[in-house]
Amino acid sequence: MGDDDQQHGGYQIDLGNLTAFDPHHQFSSVPDSREDLVKECIAHGTKLIQAVADALFNLPSTEDASGPIVSLPPPSTKLPREKPLPKPKPPTKWEVFAKKKGIQNRKKDKLVYDEQTSSWKRRHGYDRVNDDNDIPIIEAKMTDEPGVDPFAKRRSEKKQRVDKQEKNCLHNLKEASKVGALPSHVQLAATALPITGTQAAPRKVSKDELQNVAGMAATSTASGGKFDKKLAGEKPPKHDKKYRKFLPVVEGSGMGSLEKQQSDKILNKLMSKNSHEIFNVGKAVDMYNAKSDKKRRNQQGKSSSTSSKLKVKNSPYKNKPTKKSSTKGKSK
Amino acid sequence: MRRSCVAPPIDYIMLRIKTPKSLRANRELEKRAPKLVENGKKTLILHGTKTSNVLNDVLTEIYHLKKDNSVKYSRRNDNIRPFESGGETSLEFYSLKTDCSLFVFGSHSKKRPDNLVIGRTYDHHIYDLVGVENFKSMKSCSYDKKIAPLIGSKPFFAFIGEGFENVEELKHLKEVLLDLFRGQVVSSLNLAGLDRVYVCTAVSSNKVLFTHCALRLKKSGTTVPRVELVEVGPSMDFVVRRHRLPDESLKKEAMKIAPELIRKKEKNVSKDAIEGKIGKIYVPDQQVGNASLPFTPKGVKRVRREAKAKGEDNKQWEKKQKQHDDVSA
């Protein structure tokens, strides 16, 4: 422990930085040519460096293969840090408990002797000691209830333990982040914001929903969204702005009577509302029977393992008969 | 702890623990975290809208001097103006991304030709700046290739001139140059690996001559070798233009040393040239009367007899009678 900053012939020497500073030198006359100036500077610099080297080589050194090694004192010129000082992290829940109880941390071995196989097995990982999944038989105790599956119970207990551990982990991280001492590789990110009032966490909104909402917002302007500029990627509005559909005055050929279709549609709607015979019992019974026959056939087919090519394929394009009310000719 | 998982919805704020998905990324983050004893500072070298030939050479030279701990950007950056309040955001962003706390920014304009701005950052925000004009620079002189200094060797520094103490700007420049070129702070040094020297001379109140020399250690009679400097590498003249000192509160925070690192002075120990190391021990006065003995003294028998014979009312020498309480059956 000596002075790091020594005065050697008027120079200030900082050994930690290998620096020598001559504060008393004055250039009485600046030499004209740059080369002379440089030479003078170098000559003077040599003197300073010699002083530093004197101090440096006089330090106690240890011999090494590559050369003498000297332990430098810490630098005396203070320079600013580049990052703020790290804050000490608060003790975790377990650490507080362990300190209170006086529990010491014991180092565990990687290999553990397994009594069953009388061999050394690893503690964690593949083919480990006391693996929960390897237990073939669990003996029943007097306290066991008859209907409870002990294996499932063990699994659920383990899951509970894991969840509790994660909750504690998160709590510790939150405590650390409150102080500002979060470990450098961890970031806590909020995935959703809370809703005050209801206790349900809001679910994530899907793309279609967002598009719908955007469309609704657009049409809720004073001019009905007619003059809004559409951004790239925005779908055109679903509703065609026209809410009333008028039939053409003169019907073109080859379209089928539109007016007849329109009035038919309205009539059917009215009739089906007020008709009592909405359910065609016969047709329903036939459909049910056909369905159950098909099912029976499928099951037999599976057990006799016919090739799939011979099976009747369910074509998705064929229209299947659905339970609709047939109003052909039925009227009350 | 699972790497990134959704916390169970016990809290109403759903928090997700984000950790890097690979161990390598984890290690990189650890390297960049704030520490008690910091890593060496890295330098970012870049230039602005226009550069001159001289400036280009200077920037490449500085990059070569600090090859192992600096990053050089080759594109021009139009929106960086270090001395203006809004023009620093880009610099701070680059400093954050490359983890560099020193930067050298070169620019050339009619008003300020061959301008170099050397700056430092604290917590990736601008700490202080020094703007210098690179008056003249000469790259390489002819020298013997064998004595060329290796990359990464710890340099010697020589500061000459009273200007470095008296003039505010030169004092600042001295500190910044020291920070820029000193390399990593080491506690043990191999004396065979010393081979470079930076000589800075304050020629006038605003002009500084900066030279980089190689070091040769020659045999001398004593254990200390004779030092010889050979000019190698860039030599520049700096004319200090403008500078910005750090904010007082920021400076205070940046200069803070961790309380664990302050060496505590050993109390009651002193070193003497004649006697060697002397320590002082302070012994408090002994209280003989109040010393606790292993047994409780009841009184010596003879003293008790005499007291009884005298018939004094000494309650302490009387035997205390047992009090028989009424014991209920």
CB atoms < 10 A from the CB of A184, how many? 15
Within an 8 Å CB–CB cutoff, is residue A17 touching chain B?
Answer: yes
What gap in Å lies between CA B45 and CA B64, rounded to an integer? 11
| Binary contact (A80, B127; C-beta < 8 A) | yes
Nearest to B101 by CA among A19, A82, A332: A82
Mark yes or no for CB contact B136/A34 under 8 Å. yes
Which position has the higher pLDDT, B248 or B183?
Answer: B248
Q: Which residues of B touch A166 (CB under 8 A)?
A: 1-2, 5, 7-8
As a whole number, the mean pLDDT across chain B is 84
User: Sorting pLDDT into bands at 50, 70 and 90, what band is B314?
Assistant: low
Predicted confidence at residue A88, as pLDDT, reads: 87
Q: A330 versus B173: which is more confidently predicted?
A: B173
Q: A257-296, pLDDT tens digit by residue? A: 788 888 889 998 888 887 776 677 888 899 999 999 999 9
How far is the C-alpha of B188 from the C-alpha of B233, rounded, in Å?
A: 27
Residue of A nearest to B250 (CA): A80
pTM, two decimals, is 0.64
Residue A101, Cβ density class (10 Å: 0-12 exposed, 13-18 middle, ≥19 buried): exposed
Which amino acid does the sequence have at A266?
I
Give phi and psi for B142, each to the nearest 5.
-75, 130
Lowest model confidence (mean pLDDT) among A63-67, B105-109, B181-185, B308-312: B308-312
pLDDT digits (tens, 9 = 90+) for A105-123: 999 999 999 988 899 999 9
CB B229 within 8 A of CB B214: yes
Name the closest residue on chain B to residue A177, using Cα atoms: B17
Please give the mean pLDDT across all residues of chain A: 80
Nearest by Cα to B119 from B243, B249, B252: B243
Residue type, position B180, single letter: L
Tell me the C-alpha distance between B3 and A257, whole Å.
67
Tokens of A251: 């019907």
pLDDT tens digits, B197-255: 999 999 888 889 999 988 888 888 888 888 888 888 788 889 999 989 998 999 999 99
Mean pLDDT value across residues A164-185:
88
Structure tokens at B181: 């070129």
Beta-bridge mates of residue B197: B156, B213
Q: Which pLDDT does position B235 carry in this prediction? A: 86
> What pLDDT sits at residue B329?
46
Residue range A313-329: mean pLDDT, rounded: 57
| Weakest mean pLDDT among A63-77, A314-328, B271-285 | A314-328
Q: Which of B42, B126, B227, B277 to mutate to test the interface with A (most CBs of A within 10 A)?
A: B227
- What does the pLDDT read at residue B103? 94
Q: Which amino acid does the sequence have at B120?
A: R
- Looking at residue B249, its pLDDT comes to 92
Nearest-CA distance A154 → chain B (Å): 21
Cβ burial, residue B121 (10 Å; 0-12/13-18/19+) = buried
* B136 contacts on A by Cβ (under 8 Å): 34
Both tokens of residue B305?
Answer: 């007899």
pLDDT tens for each residue of A206-219: 888 888 888 888 88
ipTM: 0.74
Rounded Cα distance, A126 and A121, in Å? 9
pLDDT at A22 over 70: yes
**Residue B244 half-sphere exposure toward CB, CA atoms < 13 A:** 16
> How far is it, in rounded angstroms, from Cα A289 to Cα A98?
71
- End-to-end C-alpha distance for chain B, whole angstroms: 68
Average pLDDT, stretch A37-61? 88
Q: CA-based angle B32:B33:B39, to the nearest 5?
A: 60
> Is B264 at the interface with chain A, CB within 8 A?
no
Beta partners for B227? B217
Q: Do B17 and A25 touch (CB under 8 A)?
A: no
- Above 60 in pLDDT, residue A127? yes
Closest to A72 (Cβ–Cβ): which among B120, B189, B224?
A: B189
Residue of chain B with shortest Cα separation from A197: B12
